[in-house]
Structure 1
Amino acid sequence: MSIPRDDDALSWGGDDDPTLDVGEKHAPTPVPGGEVEAGPIEPLQPAAAPVTRHPEPVRSEPVAVDDVDDEDPDAAHAAPLGNVGLVGIGMVAATFLLFAIGWLLAGLRLNGLGLPIPSVTVIALTIGAALAPVVWFVAVLALTRSWRTWQRFLLLIVGIVLLVPWPFLSLGAFA
């Protein structure tokens, strides 16, 4: 009977296989005769300093302690959305898509009611109303990239409240 190792839970079956040993890597080096000679590969060296996406502006004059902004560090660079945020964005996108379809159906119903306005006007307004939820969604996502997640969702919910297809709801789906 063998003695269990402390890190057995952290290993995968077959980790001790000698064919999986990396050993010393060799890279082929060209030889003048056209043959390739293998030589050791040097490991990559880690970068001296991490590279940022948006480097801070460089000031030429010395900065006094009073000149330093007390901004929130999260305001400059928003964290990427997690799983819950992505699912929420998907649900809001589906809501806006349904609103666009609702505005389109309501406009088509209004066109057939015999309103005293030209059909071209009703069609143009229908297309504009159907595009409004899509434009709101894309504009909020594009213009609020550096904002916090809750602020972005707040603007999206304001758009949901403002862009409800009231004519579709008041006329009904099968009226």
Structure 2
Amino acid sequence: MSTGRDDDALSWGGDDDPTLVSGARPSASEETPPVLPRGFTAVGKNREKVGRIDADGTVTMPGEREPMSSATLVVLGVIAGAYLLFTIGWIVGGLRLQGTAQFLVSPLGYQAAFWLAAAAPALWFATVLVLTRDTKTWMRIVWLVAGMVLLIPWPFVMVGAVGQAVTP
């Protein structure tokens, strides 16, 4: 299947070659943004447009967010996995208590509380990620760990494998 242009890569067609890309050249006069090393602070007019040079030599401009470190991503992944296990724990523990709990509260009230409890870990995780977007990483981790303490699936802990008494 020859297209007639098989040997084009082996020869020079000149400036009138139809495959030649033409258009505006990028201007060589593009301004490099002003940057300062860490520890220096820009003052005066347009100080919000001055970037900073990071330790690895990359430039971070004021509008850009710093990328998360690998350690932070691993910690967030582990915490997200724990929150997923908490959601599963609330579902399993809530289903095991369903017959007993419906004697105490109405079935509609139980279902609402059950699904709210099952969704609470995911809601807490998403809320912390959104609300701590502009804060320090350690503050985000503190709020996520506080949520882990607050959202322990007590029905699973008390009725599940941990809370069962061993009868001889």
Q: TM-score, normalised by structure 1?
A: 0.59
> Aligned equivalents of 2:147 and 2:97: distance in 1?
23
> Which of residues 59, 69, 85 in structure 2 aligns to 1:98?
85
Q: Who is 2:107 aligned against?
A: 119
> Aligned equivalents of 2:129 and 2:155: distance in 1?
27
Identical aligned residues as a percent: 36
> Aligned equivalents of 1:163 and 1:129: distance in 2?
9
CA-CA distance at 1:77 after TM superposition: 6.8
Q: Following superposition, which runs of at least 4 residues in structure 1 exceed 6 angstroms of deviation?
A: none
Q: Who is 1:71 aligned against?
A: none
CA-CA distance at 1:50 after TM superposition: 3.3
Residue-by-residue CA offset, 1:116-173 (whole Å, 9 max, x unaligned): 2122211110100010000000011111111111010010000001000111101114
Residue-by-residue CA offset, 1:88-142 (whole Å, 9 max, x unaligned): 1000000001101111111111212253212221111010001000000001111
Q: Who is 1:36 aligned against?
A: 18
* Long gaps (5+) in structure 1: 1-25, 52-61, 64-75
How many residue pairs end up in the alignment? 125
Q: Who is 1:153 aligned against?
A: 141
> Aligned equivalents of 2:95 and 2:151: distance in 1?
17
* Long gaps (5+) in structure 2: 1-11, 35-43, 46-62
Q: TM-score, normalised by structure 2?
A: 0.61
Shift in CA distance, 108/147, structure 1 to aligned 2, threshold 3 Å: same
Q: Who is 2:153 aligned against?
A: 165
AA aligned to 2:18 is: V
> Aligned equivalents of 1:88 and 1:137: distance in 2?
13
Q: Who is 1:48 aligned against?
A: 31
